[in-house]
């Protein structure tokens, strides 16, 4: 009777703790509140089970009683804090990459000057790539951009909650394109719209125009890749890669316009050239013209609509995306020139995509891209593998003379991806890059008649079942 009374007291205490800590789960299960004083919410009380170990006989070793996981799958802090020291994870931080849906907006909105110039250069794709690289360098890993390309100093904040600052970025080598030839030719119009007497005159005018264009851009490109101290600028390095890979070529293709597939070629080589990024970072690109998932849709309008929905999914997670758009022409319905922009925010209430135009004009770091663009023809993004860890001491911000990294800012949102296997046969650790650690039970699946394996963290546990046979259909 005394044992029963003691058990009832333990259960009552546990129920009280669970009730006290219950909070509403956030809409996205990958994120939890940055306020570390708030306890993770619990599962409904009626689901409480008093038992040792895990259900289905695939765990074991946890002390009695067992509290169920919370609504986001994590075990309540009250339960974890009651466990002995040796049953918890004490190894290095192995957090996987996670998006930052708040900081990404602050970063690009405040990226107003420290990125390469796009004016007469016609290099919007390269500028968008440079801005994307600088974001991942500031947030996740300092290997994305070599220090020699970065603007010296740290971004000043009045406080850790200050959302208005000059975003850290890369140095700009702004060389004048047309300076040595101020009185250049203008692009000729078609004979029916001009004073040309015949088609031969028009064709000659087109030839003269493009010959002059190549002379100008050959000169610009040559200066960008050979000038003294050129190895201090990211744009020069990207141009060199483009020349090496055939995306730029003197006199035939020296104007640095580029499509999404060409940008993928350059980005891929950029990552391959990095000792720390090679094999750990990839650049994905899609266009409505490629034979990919969008070829399923019968019309261009349907392809563009499906592509926009895919872009929105990434933006809602906090993942920045380069968009290949067509600008409006002389009127709202006439296509103008192509342009690459950086999308980083989605306003779900008003169904608006916001982004950075790549121009250093006031107000161009946050614009309504749905108004700016007549068409969406492609998009690209960077994918970071779980093997590329967060860079410690990547402190690009300062408050009152003290340096901080992005994880210290109030905009930081915990990201718990995957799980970390350790000695426990019952549970694994789930870590945020900032060091916050949660715990969850293994999700075991049988892989042989002797072993089961956690689908989340990969932890193996011996659990013999002589009658088990693999499903011949892989189910």
DSSP annotation of 66: P
pLDDT over 60 at 9, yes or no? no
- What's residue 303's pLDDT? 95
Find the helix or strand (DSSP H, E) in which 460 lies. Answer: strand 460-462
- Whether the bond between 204 and the residue before it is cis, its omega within 30 degrees of 0, is no
Please tell me whether residues 155 and 44 are part of one structural domain. no
The verdict on residue 398 lying in a domain is yes
For residue 276, what are the CA distances in angstroms to 146, 237, 239, 319, 384?
Answer: 11, 17, 21, 21, 12
Contact 286/379 with Cβ under 8 angstroms?
Answer: yes
Same domain, 425 and 390: no
Quick: pLDDT tens for 372-413.
999 999 999 999 999 999 998 899 999 999 999 999 999 999
CB 379 within 8 A of CB 324: yes
pLDDT of residue 44: 31
DSSP 8-class letter at 53 = S
Question: ∠139-266-145 over CA atoms, to 5°?
Answer: 30
Q: Check which CATH number belongs to the domain holding 136 and give it.
A: 3.90.70
Instruction: Please check whether residue 337 lies inside any domain of the structure.
Output: yes
d(CA 470, CA 48): 33
Q: Are residues 89 and 135 in the same domain?
A: no
Share of the chain above pLDDT 70, in %: 83
Q: Could you tell me if 331 and 353 lie in one domain?
A: yes
Domain check: are 382 and 421 in the same one? no
Residues 231 and 349 in one domain: yes
**What is the distance of C-alpha 287 from the center of its chain?**
19
- The predicted model scores a pTM of 0.83
**pLDDT tens digit sequence for 195-229:** 656 677 888 888 888 889 999 999 999 999 998 88
Q: Report, as an integer, the average pLDDT of 438-461.
A: 95
Residue 470 within a domain: no
Q: Of 320, 343, 260, 323, which Cα lies nearest the Cα of 140?
A: 320
Q: Is residue 194 part of a domain?
A: no
Q: Which of 408, 426, 450 is the last residue of a domain?
A: 408
> Do 71 and 165 share a structural domain?
no
Judge if 32 and 93 occupy the same domain: yes
Q: Torsion angle of alpha carbons 134, 135, 141, 144, nearest 10°? A: -30
Question: pLDDT at position 228, please?
Answer: 82
Provide φ and ψ at 325, rounded to 5°: -120, 165
Instruction: Decide if pLDDT at 155 tops 80.
Output: yes
Cβ contact 177:217 at 8 Å:
yes
Q: What is the pLDDT of residue 17?
A: 36
Angle between helices 260-272 and 124-139 (to 10 degrees): 40
Query: Is 71 within a domain?
Result: yes
C-beta separation of 129 from 111 below 8 A: no
Q: How far apart are CA 116 and CA 139, in angstroms?
A: 19
pLDDT value at residue 137: 98
Residue 47 belongs to domain spanning: 2-97+413-462
Rounded CA separation 71/68 (Å): 9
Q: What is the pLDDT of residue 203?
A: 84
Query: Do 389 and 438 share a domain, yes or no?
Result: no
Backbone angles phi, psi at 374, to 5 degrees: -90, -35
Residue 160 has pLDDT above 60, yes or no: yes
Listed residues 408, 424, 452: the one ending a domain: 408
Q: Check pLDDT > 50 for residue 10.
A: no
As for how many domains the chain has, the answer is 2
Residue 268 resides in a domain: yes
Tell me the residue length of the chain. 475
Output the pLDDT for position 324: 97
Where is the domain boundary, 375, 390, 408? 408
Report the C-alpha gap between 127 and 119 in whole angstroms: 11
Predicted confidence band at 329 (pLDDT cuts at 50, 70, 90)? confident
Residues 58 and 161 in one domain: no
Say yes or no: 288 and 398 in one domain.
yes
- Taking each helix axis as running N to C, give the angle between helix 234-245 and helix 199-226, from 0 to 180 degrees, rounded to the nearest 10: 120
Residues 242 and 385 in one domain: yes
197 is a domain residue: no
Tens digits of residue pLDDT in 54-85: 433 334 445 444 555 555 689 999 999 999 99
Residue 33 pLDDT more than 70?
no
Q: What is the pLDDT of residue 26?
A: 32
Average pLDDT over residues 257-265: 96
- Mean pLDDT, the chain, integer: 85
Does some domain include residue 65? yes
Collect all residues with Cβ–Cβ distance below 8 Å to 401 and sequence separation of at least 6.
none
């Amino acid at each position: 009777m005394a044992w029963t009374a003691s058990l009832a007291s333990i259960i009552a205490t546990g129920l009280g703790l669970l009730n006290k800590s219950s909070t509403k789960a956030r809409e996205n299960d990958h994120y939890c509140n940055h306020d570390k004083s708030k306890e993770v919410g619990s599962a409904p009380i009626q689901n409480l089970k008093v038992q040792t170990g895990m259900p289905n006989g695939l765990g074991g070793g946890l002390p009695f009683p067992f509290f169920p996981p919370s609504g986001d799958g994590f075990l309540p802090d009250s339960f974890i804090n009651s466990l002995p020291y040796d049953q918890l994870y004490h190894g290095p931080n192995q957090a996987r990459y996670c998006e930052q849906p708040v900081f990404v907006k602050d970063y690009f909105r405040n990226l107003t000057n420290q990125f390469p110039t796009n004016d007469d250069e016609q290099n919007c794709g390269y500028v968008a790539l440079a801005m994307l690289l600088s974001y991942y360098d500031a947030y996740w890993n300092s290997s994305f951009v070599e220090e020699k390309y970065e603007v010296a100093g740290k971004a000043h904040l009045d406080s850790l909650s200050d959302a208005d600052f000059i975003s850290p970025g890369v140095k700009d080598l702004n060389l004048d394109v047309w300076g040595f030839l101020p009185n250049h030719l203008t692009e000729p119009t078609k004979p029916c719209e001009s004073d040309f007497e015949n088609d031969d005159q028009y064709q000659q005018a087109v030839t003269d125009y493009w010959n002059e264009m190549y002379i100008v851009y050959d000169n610009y490109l040559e200066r960008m890749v050979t000038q003294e101290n050129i190895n201090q600028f990211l744009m020069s390095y990207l141009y060199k890669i483009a020349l090496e890979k055939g995306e730029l070529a003197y006199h035939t293709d020296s104007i640095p316009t580029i499509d999404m597939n060409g940008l993928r070629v350059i980005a891929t080589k950029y990552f391959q050239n990095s000792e720390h990024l090679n094999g750990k970072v990839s650049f994905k690109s899609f266009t409505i013209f490629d034979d990919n998932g969008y070829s399923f849709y019968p019309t261009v309008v349907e392809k563009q609509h499906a592509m926009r929905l895919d872009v929105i999914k990434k933006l809602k997670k906090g993942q920045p995306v380069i968009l290949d758009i067509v600008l409006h022409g002389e009127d709202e319905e006439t296509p103008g020139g192509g342009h690459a922009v950086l999308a980083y925010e989605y306003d779900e209430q008003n169904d608006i995509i916001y982004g950075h135009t790549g121009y250093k004009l006031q107000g161009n770091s946050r614009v309504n891209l749905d108004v700016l663009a007549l068409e969406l023809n492609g998009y690209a993004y960077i994918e970071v593998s779980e093997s590329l860890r967060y860079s410690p001491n990547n402190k690009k911000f300062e408050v009152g003379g003290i340096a901080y990294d992005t994880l210290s800012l109030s905009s930081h949102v915990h990201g718990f991806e995957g799980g970390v296997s350790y000695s426990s046969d019952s549970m694994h650790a789930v870590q945020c890059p900032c060091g916050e650690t949660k715990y969850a039970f293994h999700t075991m699946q049988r892989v042989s008649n002797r072993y089961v394996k956690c689908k989340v963290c990969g932890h193996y546990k011996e659990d013999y079942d002589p009658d088990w046979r693999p499903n011949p259909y892989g189910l």
